[in-house]
A and B are shown apart, each in its own frame.
Chain A
Amino acid sequence: MDMSLKGLWLQMMPLGALIAGVVGLLLIASVIGGILAGTTKGEQGRATVANLNARIRAWWIMVAVFGVAMATGGVGSIVLFFLMSFLAMREFMTLTPTARTDHAALFWAFFLLAPLQYLLVWAGWYGMFSVLVPVYGFVAITSRMALSGETDRFLERTATVQWGVMACVYCVSHAPALLMLGPIPGYSGNGATLLFYLVLIAQLSDVMQYVWGKLVGKRPIAPTVSPNKTWGGFIGGTLTAIAVGTALYWATPFTPLAAAAMCLAITMLGFMGGLVMSAIKRDRGVKDYGSLIQGHGGVLDRIDSLLFAAPVFFHLIRFFYVP
């Protein structure tokens, strides 16, 4: 009894400390936002501060939702990420030029593939989890769209629907899949801590790139895709996130050096995810995927940095740490 309580405490301690740290960070951000709101002059400056404060308020809500999901253990996180996948795919497919005849394939994507993928996470069936979308989803969607008989832009339509399922469901599901990784030797924490760590570093990198970009950002990295992503913001933001992630190595199974390398991977892939999703938005002629989260745009705008980072982070841990 004593031993198991102690074990539970050891398991929850790193996660609790991380959550407390994030709440502290948000408190500081809210105070700074409040001060800026009182002191900033000029119309453009005020608009920027108002947007910043809307983002901070939305962060409180997102952290609360995420915290509640984590507190309910595995199921809560899986349900939360399923909902995010679902809403992100809704935003994605709305922008996708599908035909009337694709209705059934779209229905399968939303009500068959997405729930099945997360059921597999919950069941911990890794083998099927990793092939459901790329193998069975690929076959099912293409076949269903061929059966419906519409050949106009066939490859474009099937490819975009599949891309949407891959990005919004398959990639995102690798974040809660961290919960189903087996025990890591010498690590007392759990998958939930690693999930929190991944989301924290990816989102922190996003936020710090925005902050550094506003402060010192001048030269855009890819001006035709996203004029807001600057070299100054990119370097400042990723270095800040890597520094924080390295300092938090004690919450993970990583050595400080390995933690820095992991954070380098998360921030680079997070940046690429954001860039790719921006390219799609640019092509479709929209600024945001949606308007669900005040100041942030849609769900897909908020989680674009997880799309590539989640599966790679998952597989790096699986390859190097899980026996």
Chain B
Amino acid sequence: MISGTLAFIARLISGATARWTAPLEPGRQRVFFANHTSHLDFIIIWSSLPPAMRAMTRPVAGSDYWGKGAMKRHLAKKVFNAILIERPSSGSGNAISAASQSIESIAAGMGDRHSIIVFPEGTRSLTGEVLPFKSGLFHLCRLKPDLELVPVYLANMNRILPKGEVLPVPLIGRVIIGAPMRFDPAEDKQAFLTRARGAMLALRDQ
């Protein structure tokens, strides 16, 4: 019930109605990957999904933000059923091993039935421009090559609640959910990330 109410409030604040450009078959394991400009992003995507799909979809969130404080931790663990990961802080010596640990904990969190929501830019964009993708999406796909990859484009979220602001302004956001794409094991990392980012950007003009 809490999750239904939260989903309703999130849709109310963002005014967002999801546009599905292609039908998604039920029961598949997939990765929703979206652009990231606002703390609202994953809640908005999560609330746009039909309730049955929403129940099977876990957002991936940084434990540095969502693991702090009893309230946030409760929301992340019990309501959103989030997979909390350590974000590798840039510059630290063991960033690479932390990153690969994160990918493994995401894969473990998915099991063989959960889908996830990720933001492959790794951080919130200040300008609203879509940043280059970090390689996490590629490494996850190498670990689980059968996943369906669904690009999601979020418009206006950076105006509703920009990075650094606490109070939202009630403008109308948009959620555009694209056609699923597949991982191709023959493709190299850069080509794959460019293709995935291109699929997301193509939704911008839909």
Residues in A lying within 8 Å of B, measured CB to CB? 86, 90-91, 93-94, 98, 100, 103, 106-107, 110, 290-291
Contacts and interface: CB of A to CB of B under 8 A. Distances in A.
Interface of B is mostly: loop
B136 interface: no
B122 to A, nearest CB: 20
Contacts of B156: 94
Contact of B162 (A93, A94, A103): A103
Interface stretch (B22-30, B60-68, B109-117, B168-176): B168-176
Contacts of A94: 15, 156, 159, 171-172
Contact of B170 (A100, A110, A290, A291): A110
B176 to A, nearest CB: 14
Nearest to A91: B172
Contact of B17 (A100, A107, A110, A291): A291
B47 interface: no
B184 interface: no
Nearest to A97: B159
A285 B184 CA distance: 39
B158 interface: yes
A91 B171 CA distance: 7
Interface of A is mostly: helix
A191 B173 CA distance: 37
A11 to B, nearest CB: 37
B169 A290 contact: no
A86 B127 CA distance: 26
B172 A290 contact: yes
A94 B172 CA distance: 6
B95 interface: no
Nearest to B155: A94
Contact of B171 (A93, A100, A291): A93
A107 B171 CA distance: 10
A103 B169 contact: yes
* Top-7 shortest CB links A-B: A94-B172, A106-B169, A94-B171, A100-B162, A107-B169, A90-B170, A103-B165
A90 B15 contact: yes
